[in-house]
Amino acid sequence: MRLRNVWNALRNRNILLRQTIDIDIDAITMSGLESNSSKVEEGFLFVAISGYKHDGHDFIEDAVNRGAAAVIGEKDEAEIKGLQEGVPYIQAANSREALALAASRFYERPDRKRTIIGITGTNGKTTTSFLLRDILEQAGISCSLFGTIANFLNGEERKAANTTPDALQLNRMMAESNDEVIILEVSSHAIEQYRVEGIQFDIALFTNLSKEHLDYHGSMEEYFSVKRKLFNQLKPDGKAIIFTDTDWGKRLVQELGDEGIPAVSAGRGEENDFWLKNIQADEEPVFTLRHDENDYMVSLPIPGIHNVYNAALAFAAAKELIADSSTIASGLEGFKGVPGRFEMLRHPCGARFIIDYAHTADAVQYCLSTARRLGAKRIIHVFGFRGNRDTGKRGTMVASSAKYSDQLILTFDDLNGIDPAEMEAELHTLNNQESGGKGIVICDRTSAIKHAWDHAREGDWIFITGKGPETYKTPFFMPADSDKAALQLLNKEHDSIKPAKTADSY
């Protein structure tokens, strides 16, 4: 691809500042694209990004020495070291945005060749994406999925580093995909950091919004405004699907309507396009969706009112691609679940241990209230908080847990560089202030899980939340790399722990 194509994309987006070396860019052909100088090869375009740990501008000389044909960055040429004669330096207002636009052009706009579905919101993205993928694939529609658990394309599974891949990896995988539909979990960080910039969506879904990432966004209003940007990236005939059981969802429907953007609503009020009613939130919930004066009864093989909401949203999205509603309902009934989302394992005494990713007060509430509604004799909750992450939600989460739990065990999550003594002190403070006398602090996560295991009784529901299927970054006492691995080690006969169906906390 000619460098001129990228240059035009930056100019059209008004982020091109100047080309600091006078050279005919029409004569330059790009053989590749990279933002990591160590991966640059002869003829590549290198995009220098100022990251959180490293500044890509410091690696321009390395990229040029490896054969970079051109460089894009944010800094003025006078600040750049290592530029060589004949290698143009293009200054852009935003390198992350420039990388996304360059990747989109280099991989020949893969979003135009597939049906692209984006799912955003605080909770429920993962299960909604898995539900939708199952529905489509059972209907014979091949589907890629890029998200928190893993990236799936062309029938293969690849490890995922982030909820939403970076712009370069995302466009590369979209170009590789031979599937008819591509589903993306779209985080607020991905939108703010331009990872999905340049991608146009056929369908965009909104699950909900609750207090999360305010250490990054500053306020709920700003958090909402970032999520809202996704719906400005719909294709001309694209459609928004909004779950309206939060004020933020209702507001989004109103705002999109005012702007003439087609929006389909789903929720418990009869004013919704998909009216969710007659909910029986048992261990295998049953509910009815009314659409266009027709009622569709759906049964779901995973517990929780939050998963009823997820399923309703997935049903509404699938309806845009599948005419036969019975096919959609059948897809939901056969749902295979999600690793680390309400993943249930049995203790030999009959207690249930549930591993879930729940990391907001709303998600905790949905998990624990489900157990209470389904007849748990006792609810024990093991959880902690990640270092250097949103501290403002911690007290609310402990209070939410205390409302539904019989006992809380506060423990460590990934420390992310925080002094263990500092985290321990905060856990004791939160326990004293918010747990209502129900809590204890056991800092080592695997020891906390063992304590719950050793004291489990028949009829107990014991939740271990916050990490889901993720591996530990912090070393703990037991030789286990995840919550599930810790439980398996604690069972004398590992094979006697048989996974139940799984689902995401909303």
Residue 216 burial class via C-beta count within 10 angstroms: exposed 0-12, middle 13-18, buried 19 and up? middle
| 164 labeled binding residue | yes
d(CA 98, CA 76): 16
20 annotated to a ligand binding site: no
429 annotated as ligand-binding: no
- Asked if residues 16 and 5 have their Cβ atoms less than 8 Å apart, the reply is no
C-alpha span between 31 and 38 (Å, rounded): 16
- The answer on whether 125 is annotated among ligand-binding residues is yes
Q: Which residues pair with 205 in a beta bridge?
A: 119, 241
Give Cβ neighbours of residue 243 (< 8 Å, ≥ 6 apart): 121, 205, 206, 207, 208, 249, 265, 266, 267, 309, 312, 313
* Sign of the torsion formed by the C-alpha atoms of 348, 351, 357 and 359: negative
Residue identified by tokens 């009869």 is 270
Q: Distance between alpha carbon 323 and the CA centroid of its chain, in Å?
A: 28
Residue 120 parent element (H or E): strand 115-120
Query: Is 122 annotated as contributing to ligand binding?
Result: yes
Residue 190, token pair as written in the block = 């991905």
Cβ(457)–Cβ(349) under 8 Å? yes
Q: Confirm whether residue 193 is marked as ligand binding.
A: yes
Annotated ligand binding at 121? The verdict is yes
Contacts of 346 by beta carbon, 8 Å cutoff, 6+ apart: 352, 353, 496, 497, 498, 500
User: According to the annotation, is 187 in a ligand binding site?
Assistant: yes
Q: Sign of the C-alpha dihedral, residues 68, 72, 74, 80?
A: positive
- Is 126 assigned a ligand-binding role in the annotation? yes
Phi, psi of 17 (to 5 degrees): -90, -55
Whether residue 105 is annotated as binding a ligand: the answer is no
Pairing state between β 263-267 and 274-280: parallel
Annotated binding site for ATP: 121-127
Annotated binding site: 37, 121-127, 162-164, 187, 193, 195
